Amino acid sequence: MLGAAALTVALAGCGSSDSGATTVTVFAAASLNKVFTELGTEFEATHPDAKVTFSFAGSSDLAAQLDQGAPADVFASADTANMDKAVRSGRITEQPQVFATNVLTIVTPPGNPEHVASLADLARPGLRLVVCAPQVPCGAATKKVTTAAQVSIAPVSEESAVTDVLAKVTSGEADAGLVYVTDAAGAGAKVARIPFPESAGAVNSYPIAAVADSKHAELAHRFEELVTGPQGRAALSKAGFGAP
């Protein structure tokens, strides 16, 4: 059942805001939070008749909410698998466009107190490792790289969004975590970053599409065009996302 908080956010996008502007609701992967918030501000500046409201969460949660009928205008997933679910449920009928790519990196608290230096080090006994749950895109990528490298990990927790993994590391609740390079970059000095070559074996593609039953289809497509166009590409590149 759709959670009350998520439903409240979704319902907010059904009509107009108090200012009279049309509210466009965008369901977007948690890893897009910072860059999409910036793009939303740009969109509102050039579309004074519109207000962009975001629902950021794990892509699997967002796909499930769409399947359950949550109202939305745009869906941006951190992988093609969850976008495919939205297509199968009938909420997406147009051809989704891949607008960015992302890969994993290891993050630790500042100074890397446990001296993690490689993917293999994440299998070390006693290391408090946090990763994304397998159904979440970053979790699927984690499983893919560790399986290919034959590294057997035993995480202390599996989170529903990459931002939750990052929070566990920055709060000191974990010795290491696997997150996207963009999330690590956004955390700045709050984490130490350890790139690993195996990450190239699990590149996540990010697709976006307007929701088929959007009540604001024209604005939904305009936001999609902003993300996939030159302004969106520049903002995504600055945030560390790879090209489609």
Residue pair 24/227 in contact (Cβ under 8 Å)? The answer is no
- Pairing between β-strand 97-102 and β-strand 74-76 as defined by DSSP bridges: unpaired
Q: 180 a known binding residue?
A: yes
Q: Is 156 annotated as a binding residue?
A: no
Residues 154 and 148: beta-carbon distance below 8 Å: no
Q: How far from the centroid of its chain's Cα atoms is residue 69's Cα?
A: 21
Query: Does the annotation flag 206 for ligand binding?
Result: no
Q: Is 162 labelled as part of a ligand binding site?
A: yes
Concatenated DSSP letters of 110-136: TT-TT---SSGGGG-TT--EEEE-TTS
Contact 141, 78 (CB under 8 A): no
* Strand, coil or helix: 78: coil
Query: From the annotation, which residues make up the binding site for molybdate?
Result: 31, 59, 162, 180
Query: From the annotation, which residues make up the binding site?
Result: 31, 59, 162, 180
